[in-house]
Structure 1
Amino acid sequence: MLKKACHMLSFLLLTLVLFGCASSNQEDEVVSEDAPSGDLAPLEKKTTVVIAEDGAASGAGFYIAEEKGYFDDYNIDIKFTTFANSDDMLPALAAGEVDIAGGVSTASFFNAIAQGIDVKIIADKGHYYDGNSYFSFVIREDLQEEIKDYSDLKGKRIAVSSRNAVDDYIFQRMLEHAGLTEDDVEFVLMSDFGNMLAAMGNKSIDAALQIEPLITQGESQNLHVRFGDATDFAPDAQIAMVLGSPSFIEEETDVSLRFMAAYLKGVRDYNDAFLYDEGLDEVIDIMTKHTALKDPGVWKKVGVTGLDPNGEMFVDDIKKQFEMYDANDAIRGDVDFDHAIDTSMTEKAIEVIGRYER
Structure 2
Amino acid sequence: MAKWMKSGWLLSLVALALLIGACSPKETAGPITDDKTPEKVSVDNPSGDLAPLEKRAKVVIAEDGAASGAGFYIAKERGYFEDYNIEVEFAQFANSDDMLPALAAGEVDIAGGVSTASFFNAISQGIDVKIIADKGHNVPGKSYFTLVIGNHMVDVIKEYKDLKGKRIGVSSHNSIDEYIYDELIKHAGLTKDDVEFVLMSDFGSMLGAISNGTIDAAVNIEPLIAQGIDKGFHVRFGDATDYAPESQIALVLGSPNFMGEEKDISLRFMSAYLKGVRDYNDAFIKGEGKDKIIDIMTKHTALKDPALWEKVNVTGLDPDGKMFIDDIKKQYDAYKANGAIRGEIDFDKAIDTSITEKAVETIGEYDR
TM-score clears 0.5 = yes
Query: In 1, distance between residues paired with 2:179 and 2:354?
Result: 27
- With the length of structure 2 as denominator, give the TM-score of the two structures: 0.90
Residues 1:210 and 2:217 are matched in the alignment? no
| 1:43-101 C-alpha deviation (Å, 9 max, x unpaired) | 00110000000000000000000000000000000000000012211000000000000
Equivalent residues in 2 for 1:155-234 (5 A)? 155-234=165-244
Residue among 258, 269, 283 paired with 1:273: 283
Residue 202 of structure 1 and its aligned partner are, at CA, apart by: 1.2
Query: In 2, distance between residues paired with 1:232 and 1:264?
Result: 28
Identity of aligned residues (%): 70
Equivalent residues in 2 for 1:277-356 (5 A)? 277-356=287-366
Residues 1:137 and 2:138 are matched in the alignment? no
Query: In 1, distance between residues paired with 2:335 and 2:252?
Result: 21
Query: In 1, distance between residues paired with 2:34 and 2:224?
Result: 51
3-state SS of the aligned residue for 1:276? coil
**Map of 2:52 onto structure 1:** 42
**Map of 1:251 onto structure 2:** 261
Query: In 2, distance between residues paired with 1:182 and 1:357?
Result: 43
**How many pairs does the alignment contain?**
336
Residue 256 of structure 1 and its aligned partner are, at CA, apart by: 0.1
Residues 1:125 and 2:135 are matched in the alignment? yes
Query: In 2, distance between residues paired with 1:288 and 1:210?
Result: 21
Residues 1:30 and 2:56 are matched in the alignment? no
Residue 29 of structure 1 and its aligned partner are, at CA, apart by: 2.5
Assess if the C-alpha contact under 8 Å between 2:152 and 2:213 holds in 1.
no
Larger radius of gyration: 1
Query: In 1, distance between residues paired with 2:107 and 2:260?
Result: 15
Letter in 1 for 2:38: E
Residue among 61, 76, 89 paired with 1:51: 61
Assess if the C-alpha contact under 8 Å between 1:197 and 1:223 holds in 2.
yes
**Map of 2:25 onto structure 1:** none
Residue 327 of structure 1 and its aligned partner are, at CA, apart by: 0.3
Q: Which runs of 4+ in 1 moved over 6 A?
A: none
Residue among 77, 99, 107 paired with 2:109: 99
Residues 1:116 and 2:141 are matched in the alignment? no
Query: In 2, distance between residues paired with 1:229 and 1:272?
Result: 23
Unaligned runs of 5+ residues in structure 2 are: 1-31
Letter in 1 for 2:199: L
Report the more deviating stretch, 290-299 or 81-90: 81-90
Letter in 1 for 2:343: G
Structure 1 residues 152, 43: CA separation in 2 closer, same or farther (over 3 Å shift)? same
Structure 1 residues 142, 28: CA separation in 2 closer, same or farther (over 3 Å shift)? closer
3-state SS of the aligned residue for 1:176? helix
Residue 357 of structure 1 and its aligned partner are, at CA, apart by: 2.2
| 1:198-255 C-alpha deviation (Å, 9 max, x unpaired) | 0012110000001001101111111100000101111100000000001001110000
Residue 30 of structure 1 and its aligned partner are, at CA, apart by: 2.4
Query: In 2, distance between residues paired with 1:325 and 1:28?
Result: 38
3-state SS of the aligned residue for 2:38? coil
Unaligned runs of 5+ residues in structure 1 are: 1-22
Query: In 2, distance between residues paired with 1:167 and 1:209?
Result: 7
Assess if the C-alpha contact under 8 Å between 1:30 and 1:41 holds in 2.
no
